[in-house]
Chain A
Amino acid sequence: MLYSLKGLLLTLVSTFHGLRQPVTRQYPATGTLWKRRPAPTPVQPRFMGFPALTWDGIVDEPYCTSCMVCIRQCPTQCMSATMKDNPLNQDGRSSRKKIVETFEINLNRCILCGICVEVCNFDAIVMSHEHEMSTFQRNGDRVDLPALLEIGMKFQAKTSWIPPTELAKLAEKNQSGGDSQDPEVAAASKEPDGEPDG
């Protein structure tokens, strides 16, 4: 009897807590049927949403050169891509010889493992914070290059994204700047070709 009464007491206390501050957070909107306020899910900075392609704002082209590494490393083979010669490279504006022509990710197959991001050598793919992508069409989540770039740009703008290789270089510079000046590293870090903040 004693433990049952203790349990009753506990739920009573819990009720008062519930009246004061319930744990539930309403999603995707709060308010009543007539007056809704959107309440999107906050995600952690490292949150891995659906993969998206990044946009090189300096050269005005995607980072992706369609090198197929992510496509080969994807555990579910949910991506496909084709490449073309980069017209901007012929003009001399870009250092990328090849550039992505088409890129498709079947987000219904994607398992959000992040391996594609890890293996990418060109900082071209990110795990965006996008996760609410339900559609009414069976193939509605097969996204193509413009859509992927759009998600990617949204992500870049939201998180003021810096390419990971840049980050690594910066970190290296900071480290080496502490003890000895390595001319090579200093030279390399002087010419950042990545996206500036914001």
Chain B
Amino acid sequence: MTAAIPVLAIGLLDVMWIAIGLFVLFGALSFVVLSLTWLERKTLGRLQRRLGPTRTGPMGIIQPLADGLKLILKEDIVPSSSERAIFWSAPVLVIVPAFMIWVTIPASHDAVLRNLDLGLLYIVAFAVVGILGLVLAGWGSANKYGTLGGLRAAAQLISYEIPVIMVVISVAMLAGSLNMREIVAAQSAYPYALIQPLGLVIFFIAGLAEVGRTPFDIYFAESEIVGGPFVEYSGAHWSVFFLAEYINTFAIAALTVLLFLGGWSGPFLSENWVIVWFLLKVYAVILVIFWIRGTFPRLRIDQLMAFAWKVMVPLSFFTILITAIYKFYEWPAWSLTLMSAAGLLAVGYAIYRRMVGPAHRVAQVRARQKALREARLASTQSPGGTTNVV
């Protein structure tokens, strides 16, 4: 009994540290979400030659706080026909995995709550749980748009989980570890983006689909199903989904950086300051995500699924294949770069040919138009005469 007390005390201390760590994590992530909402509105604004928020504080910097306050103060409406328990629990099911992922994502060598040896597996495993929350949200709100959105979410997220996992496996093969620290350490010579560009592209695109950013914002497409699973949520509950969405976006950007862009390694900074490099890289990736949002339309659900199963999944297997060949024959690094880039180009060209095919008919249209015009001119030059003054 007496021997157990120190053990218990150590256990308690441990729990306390974890609690403090989680609290800090929660605070940091909330801050990140606030900064992201502001950044998104500002970036999109400038991209569209608008100003973005301006009124709240200098450059509208406290706009996210104002938004958050508004959302919390708003009435929380629960549809009378909804499944109450599911309706309430769905946001929790979405937000908890979003936070759980961050337990093992390191921002620098030491800035991590728990560095797990199977960190990558843990992240991939928990990223899928959020889908359940979306499906439940859609179904529980007893709304047809919500149901459609929830089912779209299930189809989309599960399909795109496969390429993500496959690319993660290829990275793990390159690094020889699932531990995030070791993966980053393995990139000290060159980031994996250089030798595995195909993997980077697949991971980034599939990641966009995972978090439902444009052009894959299909499960809450405003112009079709008016917000999908979130359609009946309001106030604080809706803001929880919002929070989760931005945390997931940040997580995908962070994973892109950690797996392909060398993590926190960068010149000029050392020790704990390397976290600056990490944040810079992550925000750069986030800006690219916003940039894409400002440019592209949305795909359709069947095209999205076709893209997942006909393009992304085979390509991700190809990634594993070339990585395996590279590792097995111990070829130089540039050979993998070549193979990867060749795959990327081939697929890019295939997509270009497939999707631009219709555009080549423009030439036919022009020819037809010319013919019709000449026919008309010929007919008007008949004795009736034309009044063409020009």
Given A1-B351, A26-B54, the answer on whether A17 and B291 have CB atoms closer than 8 Å is no
Inter-chain CA distance A150–B291, complex, in Å, is 51
Partner of A26, one of B45, B51, B359: B51
Given A24-B51, A33-B55, A33-B56, the answer on whether A18 and B294 have CB atoms closer than 8 Å is no
Which residue on B lies nearest to A16, using beta carbons?
Answer: B46
Taking the nearest CB of chain B, how far is it from the CB of A65, in angstroms? 48
Among the 9-residue stretches A7-15, A40-48, A68-76, the one with 4 or more Cβ atoms under 8 Å from chain B is A7-15
Interface size bracket, B side: 20 to 34
Contact B291 A12 (CB under 8 A): yes
Partner of B47, one of A11, A21, A32: A11
User: Does A22 reach chain B (CB closer than 8 Å)?
Assistant: yes
Contact B295 A7 (CB under 8 A): yes
Contact B296 A7 (CB under 8 A): yes
Partner of B291, one of A1, A8, A33: A8
Contacts of A22 in B (CB 8 A): 45-46, 49-51
User: Does A23 reach chain B (CB closer than 8 Å)?
Assistant: yes
Which residue on B lies nearest to A3, using beta carbons?
Answer: B356
User: Does A4 reach chain B (CB closer than 8 Å)?
Assistant: yes
Which residue on B lies nearest to A15, using beta carbons?
Answer: B47
Inter-chain CA distance A22–B42, complex, in Å, is 12
Contact A14 B352 (CB under 8 A): no
Inter-chain CA distance A55–B68, complex, in Å, is 52
Contact A18 B352 (CB under 8 A): no
Taking the nearest CB of chain A, how far is it from the CB of B171, in angstroms? 24
Contacts of A187 in B (CB 8 A): none
Contact B50 A2 (CB under 8 A): no
User: Which residues in chain B, 326-382, are within 8 Å of chain A measured between CB atoms?
Assistant: 348-349, 351-352, 356, 359
Given contacts A7-B296, A19-B46, A24-B45, 17 further A-B contacts (CB under 8 A): A1-B348, A3-B359, A4-B295, A4-B296, A11-B291, A14-B47, A14-B48, A15-B47, A18-B45, A18-B46, A22-B45, A22-B51, A24-B51, A26-B54, A32-B54, A32-B55, A33-B55
Q: Which 3 A-B pairs have the closest CB atoms?
A: A18-B46, A18-B49, A1-B348
Which residues of A are at the interface with B, using a C-beta cutoff of 8 A?
Answer: 1-4, 7-8, 10-12, 14-15, 17-19, 21-24, 26, 32-33
